[in-house]
């Protein structure tokens, strides 16, 4: 069907039989109705010989990352896009030099005729197909790690990001046996690097996760008028309570942090102030008050902010929340969150204090209407009720809210309630189901 | 594979395996062809070969088949050329032209609609006393459609020689079967229509073939409908536009792969002394060349003029369609004359 255009037959270096013709490969609609795709990674470079169906690139659509198998057997003559570039469907991406005619399977790279080097991602082939998400595969390529050699640590033999990192950091065996052939994804740097600039600076492509975060932030901040209110709470009782519960939790294999208490306090207050667990449906001019309490948890990751979703927080015990938090955080770092684990939050909590900082002005996780932030707990001088000074553990708490839906008074009442529960955590007992 | 082996000739047993390998090879190639832009959306069937081939193996050459988009392994085994699914996914007007020698309807994408077509065919066959049965094949998701109920009800009321085969591959796109229905099996729904229902391990080609043979015989002789549920698993994505890792975990995927019907059947045949490595390699090579042949055929058929999409709809085109065809032709030709170049898409 899509025959390559007949071009000036340029003789390739290898003494190929028959005339050489050029075949231009056009980026097709690889999803259903997509308009553009991002070139995540070239798996081949100019000069490489490729077999029919051998992977040549990873591309990302709004749906997923997918591997592109070579449409012909031949030599890569040119690549027409950079990694990280967004390319419209219908653009010429690769030019191949192909021996004419191009019978399927006439592979000049030593593969037996007709044999596809690439088993599509459909079913196990006789060779071990490594279970790993596209993100993990990409990480492996970036770190030069052969996935086949990584010991999987994930469920069902899945290779996780941390397994790849561990493998990359492990000392390499210094035997004199040649290293096993790496997966056929070793790459030649494609054409020129991104416009390298004169002077002392680096230019880093703005794409992928970074760009997705940016879009989300811009949308939130330019849609919802943000206001942040801040306060401090004496958490001496909370510190003591956690300390007293910690051994019990540990005995049950759980590391107890402050976050589950914060979540419980937040959800208790959210039930009393439903306008904070809401979103604004602009189109229908309605405020949607949600009766589910799925809390987004901001997780800092080197590759960018991730916000996994802890569902039905109101129905779970502190212990259960601790367990789920640990699992979610791990999955967030490995980028293996499922859809329900990464979408559908109704309110978000950010514990910026874990990295340092007493106060912050967080951006709302749009389309939610408020976000609660907690700062570092530290000993600070405070004035007690009797007028005396004392050193107490104090935590900064902040609430950013969407002023279209929430006014300052409501925000303050909500935050006061949260502070009351954090200052006197035994009150949470009264709210127990 | 347990129980008494069916009374089947050895070359049959091996033939089924040959077809399973051929179709697995085909499926993987078709996936790549989509990624390369040579065909459009494609629904892979890997993992369901045994259920598909086993179920078709019981039919007579002149029986009717009305199936979904995921039945190409069964259809190919029944005699539909391998280029057909490629034409279909490429949007070629001939994609729906099943060979005249077979009574096979074009594939159905509207979920559940083919059940009604199957019932109509069974009814016609009964009225004309042709002795043909009509097999209709559909997914687990299709059982939630109203069409499913209408079809089974009418077939039961009218006592029609219809065989309803549900390919229960556990998923309807991203919806798992537990959330699809509140009953434990599709087969038990037969009770509601007072017809026979069977639940079979569809990844066991022998069990499937054996049950299907007795079902087809009974339906043909007694002129009653039967419901069969083939329990299987879709190893790959729903279609080329889907990414199953978003909704199922690696554990499930691995369990599915472990129950791969090809692996199971190969082990069985090897143990029976009917298959060895050399024979398998030869089959793989034949499969590859059959698939290459189909791809070459697709490329040979090439692009066609857009207005020919009207040609396969009616034996004689009604006036309105004739008018539309003419209009489209004029437009495309004018567009080309403007130097927009190329063939119509
Ligand atoms: C009437 C109708 N509704 C919805 C769709 C969209 N759709 C396409 S495939 C599919 C899932 C079908 O699942 P199942 O019947 O289990 O078949 P499978 O794809 O698993 O073979 C749906 C809902 C459709 N094609 N037709
Ligand atoms: Mg299904």
pLDDT tens-digit profile of A172-229? 544 444 333 333 333 333 333 444 445 688 888 887 778 888 989 999 999 999 999 9
Pairs of residues, one from chain A and one from chain B, whose beta carbons lie less than 8 Å apart? 122
Q: Is the separation of the CB atoms in B198 and B215 below 8 Å?
A: yes
Q: Please indicate whether, in this complex, the C-beta atoms of A122 and B285 are within 8 angstroms of each other.
A: no
Locate the ligand 1 atom nearest the alpha carbon of residue B68 and give its number: 21
Four-point Cα dihedral A371, A372, A373, A379, nearest 10: 170
Q: Mind listing the domains of chain A with CATH numbers?
A: 9-123 (2.40.50.100), 210-431 (3.30.559.10)
- Note whether A103 contacts B: Cβ–Cβ < 8 A: yes
DSSP 8-state symbol, A95: E
- Note whether B44 contacts A: Cβ–Cβ < 8 A: yes
> What average pLDDT does range A225-251 have in this prediction?
96
CA separation for the pair B251, A155 (Å, rounded): 6
Report which bound ligand comes closest to the CA of B142. Answer: 1
Q: What is the pTM of this model?
A: 0.60
Q: Is the separation of the CB atoms in A71 and A118 below 8 Å?
A: no
Q: Please indicate whether, in this complex, the C-beta atoms of A338 and B249 are within 8 angstroms of each other.
A: yes
Q: Which of A63, A104, A118 sits opposite B296 (nearest CB)?
A: A104
CA–centroid distance, residue B234 to ligand 2 (Å): 8
Q: Please indicate whether, in this complex, the C-beta atoms of B37 and A25 are within 8 angstroms of each other.
A: yes
Residues 244 through 263 of chain B touching chain A, CB cutoff 8 Å: 245-247, 249-255, 257, 260, 263
- Note whether A51 contacts B: Cβ–Cβ < 8 A: no
Burial of A2 from C-beta contacts in 10 A (0-12 / 13-18 / 19+)? middle
Q: Which of B46, B249, B292 sits opposite A104 (nearest CB)?
A: B292
Asked if residue A427 has pLDDT above 90, the reply is yes
> What average pLDDT does range B299-309 have in this prediction?
89
Note if A403 is an active site residue.
Answer: yes
Q: Where are the beta strands (DSSP E) in A84-237?
A: 86-88, 92-99, 226-234
pLDDT tens, position by position, B8-24: 778 889 999 999 999 99
> What average pLDDT does range A60-73 have in this prediction?
86
CA–centroid distance, residue B80 to ligand 2 (Å): 23
CA separation for the pair A164, A170 (Å, rounded): 10
Which chain B positions have a beta carbon within 8 Å of A342's beta carbon?
A: none
A17 versus B166: which is more confidently predicted?
A: B166
For residue B109 and ligand 1, the question of a CB distance below 6 A is answered with: yes
Question: What does chain A come to in residues?
Answer: 433
pLDDT tens, position by position, A264-286: 999 999 999 999 999 999 888 99
**Other Cβ atoms closer than 10 A to B175:** 14
What pLDDT sits at residue A179? 36
For residue B230 and ligand 1, the question of a CB distance below 6 A is answered with: no
Which chain B positions have a beta carbon within 8 Å of A105's beta carbon?
A: 288, 292
CA–centroid distance, residue A431 to ligand 1 (Å): 45
Q: Which of B236, B289, B303 sits opposite A1 (nearest CB)?
A: B303
For residue B63 and ligand 1, the question of a CB distance below 6 A is answered with: no
Locate the ligand 1 atom nearest the alpha carbon of residue B173 and give its number: 11
Q: Please indicate whether, in this complex, the C-beta atoms of A32 and B251 are within 8 angstroms of each other.
A: no
Q: Which of A26, A119, A339 sits opposite B28 (nearest CB)?
A: A119
Bond before B97 cis per omega within 30 degrees: no
For residue B114 and ligand 1, the question of a CB distance below 6 A is answered with: no
| Per-chain mean pLDDT for chain A | 82
- A129-143, A300-314, B170-184, B199-213: least confident range: A129-143
For residue B241 and ligand 1, the question of a CB distance below 6 A is answered with: no
Q: Which residue is associated with the tokens 């069907």?
A: A1
Q: Whose CA is nearest to atom 11 of ligand 1?
A: B172
CA separation for the pair A95, A379 (Å, rounded): 65
CA separation for the pair B320, B303 (Å, rounded): 25
Closest Cα partner for B265 from B4, B28, B74, B47? B47
For residue B139 and ligand 1, the question of a CB distance below 6 A is answered with: yes
Q: Which of A3, A63, A68 sits opposite B241 (nearest CB)?
A: A63
Q: Whose CA is nearest to atom 20 of ligand 1?
A: B172
**Other Cβ atoms closer than 10 A to A411:** 22
| Per-chain mean pLDDT for chain B | 93
Complex ipTM value: 0.80
**Other Cβ atoms closer than 10 A to B226:** 24
pLDDT tens, position by position, A311-332: 999 999 999 999 999 999 999 8
Which of the four pLDDT bands, split at 50, 70 and 90, describes residue A100? low
SS (H, E, C) B269-320: HHHCCCCCHHHHHHHHHHHHHHHHHHHHHHHHHCCCCHHHHHCCCCCCCCHH
- A42-56, A131-145, B6-20, B75-89: least confident range: A131-145
CA separation for the pair A397, B179 (Å, rounded): 41
Q: Nearest CA to CA, how far is B240 from chain A (Å)?
A: 7
- Note whether B292 contacts A: Cβ–Cβ < 8 A: yes
First to last CA, chain B: 48
> What average pLDDT does range A32-39 have in this prediction?
86
For residue B77 and ligand 1, the question of a CB distance below 6 A is answered with: no
Q: Is the separation of the CB atoms in A60 and A229 below 8 Å?
A: no
For residue B172 and ligand 1, the question of a CB distance below 6 A is answered with: yes
CA–centroid distance, residue B171 to ligand 1 (Å): 10
CA separation for the pair A39, A64 (Å, rounded): 12
Percent of chain A at pLDDT exceeding 70: 82
Using DSSP, state whether A179 is helix, strand or coil: coil
Hey, which residues does B198 pair with through a beta bridge?
Answer: B228
What pLDDT sits at residue B2? 56
Long-range contacts of A213-218 (CB under 8 A, 24+ apart): A213/A304, A213/A305, A216/A366, A217/A363
pLDDT tens, position by position, B255-276: 888 899 999 999 999 999 999 9
Instruction: Phi first, then psi: give them for residue A341, nearest 5 degrees.
Output: -85, -5
Bond before A80 cis per omega within 30 degrees: no
CA separation for the pair A300, B333 (Å, rounded): 58
Locate the ligand 1 atom nearest the alpha carbon of residue B239 and give its number: 19
- Note whether A3 contacts B: Cβ–Cβ < 8 A: yes
């Amino acid at each position: 069907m899509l025959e390559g255009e007949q071009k000036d037959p340029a003789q390739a270096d290898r003494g190929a039989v028959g005339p050489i013709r050029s075949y231009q490969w056009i980026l097709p609609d690889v999803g259903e109705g997509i308009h553009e795709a991002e070139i995540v990674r070239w798996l081949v470079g100019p000069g490489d010989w490729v077999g029919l169906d051998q992977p040549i690139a990873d591309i990302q659509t709004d749906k997923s990352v997918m591997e592109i198998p070579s449409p012909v057997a031949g030599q890569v003559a040119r690549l027409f896009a950079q990694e990280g570039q967004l390319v419209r469907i219908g653009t010429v991406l690769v030019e191949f030099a192909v021996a004419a005619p191009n019978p399927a399977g006439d592979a000049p790279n030593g593969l037996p005729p007709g044999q596809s080097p690439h088993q599509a991602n459909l079913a196990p082939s006789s060779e071990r197909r490594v279970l790993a998400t596209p993100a993990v595969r990409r990480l492996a390529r970036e770190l030069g790690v052969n996935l086949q050699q990584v010991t999987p640590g994930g469920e069902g033999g899945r290779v996780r990001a941390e397994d790849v990192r561990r493998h990359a950091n492990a000392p390499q065996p210094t035997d004199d046996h040649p290293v096993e052939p790496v997966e056929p994804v070793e790459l030649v740097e494609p054409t020129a690097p991104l416009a390298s600039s004169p002077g002392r600076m680096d230019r880093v492509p703005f794409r992928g996760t970074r760009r997705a975060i940016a879009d989300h932030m811009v949308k939130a901040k330019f849609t919802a008028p943000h206001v942040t209110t801040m306060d401090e709470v004496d958490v001496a009782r909370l510190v003591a309570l956690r300390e007293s519960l910690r051994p019990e939790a540990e005995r049950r294999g759980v590391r107890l942090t402050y976050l589950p208490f914060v979540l419980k306090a937040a959800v208790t207050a959210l039930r009393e102030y439903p306008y904070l667990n809401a979103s604004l449906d602009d189109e229908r001019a309605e405020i949607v008050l949600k009766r589910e309490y799925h809390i987004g948890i901001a997780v800092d990751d080197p590759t960018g902010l991730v916000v996994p979703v802890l569902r039905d927080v109101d129905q779970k015990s502190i212990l259960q929340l601790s367990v789920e938090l640990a699992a979610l955080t791990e999955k967030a770092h490995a980028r293996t969150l499922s859809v329900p684990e990464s979408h559908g939050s109704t309110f978000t909590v950010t514990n910026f204090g874990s990295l340092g900082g007493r106060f912050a002005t967080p951006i709302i996780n749009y389309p939610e209407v408020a976000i609660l932030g907690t700062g570092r707990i530290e000993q600070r001088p405070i004035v007690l009720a009797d007028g005396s000074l004392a050193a107490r553990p104090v935590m900064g708490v902040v609430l950013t809210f969407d002023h279209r839906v929430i006014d300052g008074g409501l925000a303050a009442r909500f935050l006061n309630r949260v502070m009351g529960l954090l200052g006197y955590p035994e009150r949470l007992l009264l709210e127990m189901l | 594979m347990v129980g008494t082996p069916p009374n089947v000739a050895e070359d049959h047993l091996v033939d089924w395996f040959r077809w399973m390998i051929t179709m697995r090879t085909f499926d993987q190639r078709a996936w790549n062809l989509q990624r390369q832009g040579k065909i459009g959306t494609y629904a892979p069937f890997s993992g369901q070969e045994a259920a598909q081939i086993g179920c078709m193996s019981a039919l007579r050459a002149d029986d009717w088949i009305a199936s979904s988009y995921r039945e190409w392994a069964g259809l190919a085994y029944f005699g539909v050329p391998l280029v057909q699914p490629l034409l279909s996914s490429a949007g070629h007007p001939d994609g729906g032209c099943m060979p005249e020698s077979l009574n096979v309807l074009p594939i159905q994408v509207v979920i559940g609609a083919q059940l009604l077509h199957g019932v109509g065919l069974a009814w016609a066959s009964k009225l004309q006393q042709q002795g043909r049965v009509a097999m209709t094949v559909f997914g687990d998701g299709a059982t939630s459609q109203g069409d499913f109920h209408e079809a089974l009800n009418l077939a039961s009321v009218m006592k029609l020689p219809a065989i309803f085969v549900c390919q229960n591959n556990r998923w309807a796109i991203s919806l798992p079967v537990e959330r699809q229905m509140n009953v434990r099996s599709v087969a038990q729904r037969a009770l509601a229509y007072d017809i026979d229902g069977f639940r079979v391990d569809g990844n066991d080609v022998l069990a499937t073939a054996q049950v299907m043979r007795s079902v087809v015989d009974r339906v043909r002789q007694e002129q009653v409908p039967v419901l069969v549920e083939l329990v299987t698993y879709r190893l790959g994505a729903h279609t080329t536009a889907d990414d199953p890792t978003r909704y199922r975990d690696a554990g499930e995927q691995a369990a599915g792969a472990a129950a791969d019907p090809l692996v199971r059947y190969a082990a069985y045949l090897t143990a029976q002394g009917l298959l060895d490595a050399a024979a398998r390699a030869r089959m793989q090579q034949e499969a590859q060349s059959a698939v290459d042949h189909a791809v070459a055929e697709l490329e040979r058929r090439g692009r066609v003029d857009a207005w020919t999409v009207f040609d396969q709809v009616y034996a004689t085109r009604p006036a309105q369609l004739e008018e539309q065809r003419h209009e489209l032709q004029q437009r495309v030709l004018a567009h080309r004359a403007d130097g927009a170049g190329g063939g119509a898409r």
